[in-house]
Homo-oligomer: A and B are copies of this chain.
Amino acid sequence: MPVEICAGIDIGGTNTAFAFVDLKGQIVYKDSIPTGKETQPQDLVDRVCEKISAQLSAHKNDYSLVGIGIGAPNGNYFNGTIEFAPNLSWRGIIPIAKYFSDRMSVPAYLTNDANAAALGEMFFGAAKGVKDFIFVTLGTGLGSGIVCNGEMIYGHDGFAGELGHTIVVQHGRQCGCGRRGCLEQYCSATGLVKTYLEILTSANPENPILANKELIDSKFIYEKAMGGDEDAFYAFNYTGEMLGFALANSVAYTSPKAIFLFGGLASAGELLFNPTILSFDKNILNIYKNKVSILPSALPENDAALLGTASLAWNELQRKK
């Protein structure tokens, strides 16, 4: 008997990665191709499906494809459409789930990257068996997925869970969304760099490091902090302080059992977790005290998007049973 697998497809601005994932979370095949610019979305669907189909034909006795999960920026769960995604070259509203479903003759589901990763955590990661949690990705920006009573919260329009764009500082840092003071301007790789530059500039605007700002990224700051640099350490501290504050507020919405942190910044470990937890404990409402754990994600960073998108399909298929 061939093993049932779902395909996870992660569409990014540069590359589109895809994988076959079984119900245990084993990745039995993975590959990626350039997303391509200035082309029709159907071209991408064609190129991905050719690869997938070839793999399925070559392993007829091994795998049977039962569903497809897709992750994409501005992916709308309800319609299966990518809507005006700023990082992709296609304009307007693209019915991407339908394209894949028609082509492969299995159900296809779409959501955004952070929601997909949250489902991955629930199916194959540290959130197994946790019915109420918040998943936060700390990358270039801050993405999130909220799960309540075992169900992903999509909201009425499919766009729930944008914690990165809650305003934490009125009249604060300028955000790409056009507003000011959004959480992701403080708690993300971008935010960490801004904080570090602010600290350096306010201490000494002539600091030679500032002449080469483009060299300063979150990895640079991490290494500085690990080497004992106080400014870098303080930048992490401030990032954690803001994150703990924001997460304490978020608990008052859905009262999760755990909050999982994922992504580059989360892998800084104690440098980020210590100040985050300290600030979280300080800012949380009494009735929630000592009930909520802030934990690192257990998803492997490189495969999280693929495990997440495949989980989306597995989740939908299991709900239907």
Enumerate chain A interface residues (CB-CB to B < 8 A).
74, 131-132, 146, 148-149, 151, 153-163, 165-167, 170, 177-179, 245, 248-250, 252-257, 283, 285-288, 291
Known: A163-B253, A252-B162. A156 touches B132 (CB 8 A): yes
Q: Given contacts A159-B287, A166-B249, A254-B254, list 11 more A-B pairs with CB under 8 A.
A: A148-B153, A153-B255, A157-B291, A162-B252, A162-B255, A177-B285, A178-B286, A179-B285, A250-B253, A253-B253, A253-B254
- Residues on B with beta carbons closer than 8 Å to the beta carbon of A158: 255
Known: A159-B287, A165-B285, A179-B283. A254 touches B149 (CB 8 A): no
B148 lies within 8 A of A256 (CB)? no
Q: Can you identify 16 A-B contacts, CB atoms within 8 angstroms?
A: A146-B254, A148-B155, A148-B160, A149-B154, A156-B255, A159-B288, A160-B254, A160-B255, A161-B253, A162-B287, A165-B252, A166-B252, A167-B245, A167-B283, A170-B245, A177-B286
A253 lies within 8 A of B160 (CB)? yes
The 10 closest A-B pairs by CB, nearest first: A155-B255, A160-B255, A156-B257, A132-B156, A162-B252, A166-B249, A165-B285, A253-B253, A166-B252, A160-B254
Nearest B residue to A130, CB-CB: B156
- Residues on B with beta carbons closer than 8 Å to the beta carbon of A155: 132, 148, 254-256
Count of identical protomers in the assembly = 2
- Residues on B with beta carbons closer than 8 Å to the beta carbon of A253: 146, 153, 160-161, 163, 166, 250, 253-254
CA distance A170 to B244 in the complex (A): 13
CA distance A163 to B153 in the complex (A): 18
CB proximity of A230 to chain B, nearest CB, Å: 24
Known: A166-B249, A249-B166, A249-B167. A153 touches B287 (CB 8 A): no
CB proximity of A297 to chain B, nearest CB, Å: 18
B285 lies within 8 A of A162 (CB)? yes
- Residues on B with beta carbons closer than 8 Å to the beta carbon of A248: 167
- Residues on B with beta carbons closer than 8 Å to the beta carbon of A249: 166-167
- Residues on B with beta carbons closer than 8 Å to the beta carbon of A74: 287
CA distance A177 to B252 in the complex (A): 13
CA distance A161 to B74 in the complex (A): 27
A254 lies within 8 A of B153 (CB)? yes
- Residues on B with beta carbons closer than 8 Å to the beta carbon of A283: 167, 179
